[in-house]
Chain A
Amino acid sequence: MEHSSHTPPHRTQPDHARLTFAEPAHAPLNVDPPNVAAPSRSTPAERQARTDWLVTELRRLAASTDNPHEQANLRRSADSLIRLATASRP
Chain B
Amino acid sequence: MTASVIAAPPDSLEELLARSGQVAVEVSGAGQTAWNGQVVETVGEVLGLAHWDGTLYLDSECILDPLRQMYLHAGEEQPLPVLVQYRESLATLLHEHAHFLGPAGATQEAARGAFTRPGSRQLEEGVAEAWAQDHLNEYLTRLGVDKVAPGIEDARGGGYYAAFVPAVRILAADLESRGNLQPGEVLRALNQQTAEGQFPLLTTLVYNSTRLPDLEPSGTSTRDHLETILRQGFAHLDTYELAPTGLAAAQSRSTTTALLHHLSTEVHKAESHHTPTHELPLPPQFLPTPALLNTTHPTSHRLTFTPPAPPHSIHRSAPSPLQTALSGISPPAPTPTTPPPTHPAPTTRPRTAPKHLHR
Contacts and interface: CB of A to CB of B under 8 A. Distances in A.
B328 A40 contact: yes
B49 A79 contact: yes
A66 interface: no
Nearest to B56: A9
A2 B46 contact: no
A30 B158 CA distance: 29
Nearest to B21: A2
A13 B325 contact: no
Contact size range, B: 35 or more
B113 A87 contact: yes
Interface string A1-41: 11111111111111100110000000001111101100111
For the complex, would chain A's binding face be called helix, strand, loop or mixed by DSSP majority? Answer: helix
Contact of A8 (B39, B116, B125, B326): B39
Which of A3, A7, A35, A79: most chain B CB closer than 10 A? A79
B35 A9 contact: no
Contacts of A69: 157-158
B324 A82 contact: no
A2 B25 contact: yes
Contacts of A39: 324-325, 327-329, 331
B121 A80 contact: yes
Interface in A41-67: 41-42, 47, 50-51, 53-54, 57-59, 61
Interface string A73-87: 111111111111011
A2 B37 contact: yes
A7 B39 contact: yes
B18 A32 contact: no
Given A9-B41, A14-B42, A72-B88, A31 B331 contact: no
Contacts of B21: 2
Contact of B58 (A9, A59, A84): A9
B245 A36 contact: no
Contacts, number: 154
Given A42-B331, A72-B160, A36 B321 contact: yes
Nearest to B43: A13
B121 A33 contact: no
B46 A86 contact: no
A69 B244 CA distance: 11
Contact of B112 (A6, A8, A29, A87): A87
Contacts of A58: 242
B117 to A, nearest CB: 10
Interface string B23-40: 001000000110111111
Interface string B306-328: 00000000000000011011111
A75 B32 CA distance: 27
23 contacts: A2-B33, A2-B35, A3-B36, A7-B39, A9-B14, A9-B58, A9-B64, A12-B40, A14-B46, A15-B40, A32-B321, A33-B324, A39-B328, A40-B328, A73-B162, A76-B47, A79-B47, A82-B46, A83-B115, A84-B121, A87-B112, A87-B113, A88-B116
Given A8-B17, A36-B328, 13 more contacts: A7-B37, A13-B43, A31-B321, A32-B321, A36-B321, A40-B331, A41-B331, A47-B331, A51-B329, A75-B59, A83-B49, A84-B121, A87-B116
Interface of B: 13-14, 17-18, 21-22, 25, 32-33, 35-43, 45-53, 55, 57-60, 62, 64, 88, 92, 99, 112-113, 115-116, 121, 125, 157-158, 160-162, 241-242, 245, 321-322, 324-332
Top 4 nearest A-B pairs (CB, nearest first) are A39-B328, A3-B37, A6-B18, A40-B331
